[in-house]
């Protein structure tokens, strides 16, 4: 029987999606309030994970997304609209990546 080694706790520090930050710390890191984080959660821009005690926990990726929404809100955009803009920006970025991969694949394909 092969013995599995336990996961290295340090690996979590490199994981962009690991929910390492409490609401208070997350808000502090992006210069917002806990109410702002709740608002972007209600707008479904981010969905924080919950600790065993039911507290919201945020990942670095979620904080980057929330920080972008905060920039837009600081410029006068309503929270709901800011969240929609961030979602559309993310979708555009993904579409551009897919197009680039398809272009690369097409240029590498043998020609008849």
CATH of 16-106, one of 1.10.8.50, 3.20.20.70, 1.10.1660.10, 3.40.50.1100: 1.10.1660.10
Task: Kindly report, residue by residue over 44-69, the tens digit of the pLDDT.
Answer: 999 999 989 999 999 999 999 999 99
Domains of the chain, by residue range, sit at 16-106
Judged against a pLDDT cut of 60, whether residue 27 lies above it is answered with yes
Judged against a pLDDT cut of 80, whether residue 74 lies above it is answered with yes
- Determine what percent of the chain falls in helix, strand and coil, rounding each to the nearest 5: 60, 5, 35
Q: Give the predicted TM-score (pTM) of the model.
A: 0.78
Distances (CA, A) of 29 to 7, 15, 37, 67, 97: 27, 17, 12, 9, 29
């Amino acid at each position: 029987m092969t013995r599995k080694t336990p996961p290295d706790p340090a690996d979590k520090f490199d994981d962009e999606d690991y929910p390492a930050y409490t609401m208070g710390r997350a808000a502090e890191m992006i210069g917002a309030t806990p109410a702002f984080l709740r608002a972007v959660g209600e707008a479904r821009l981010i969905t924080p994970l919950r600790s065993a005690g039911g507290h919201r926990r945020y990942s670095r990726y979620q904080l980057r997304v929330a920080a972008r929404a905060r920039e837009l809100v600081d410029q006068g955009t309503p929270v709901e609209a800011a969240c929609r803009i961030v979602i559309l920006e993310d979708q555009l970025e993904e579409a551009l990546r897919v197009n680039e991969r398809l272009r690369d694949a097409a240029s590498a394909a043998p020609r008849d």
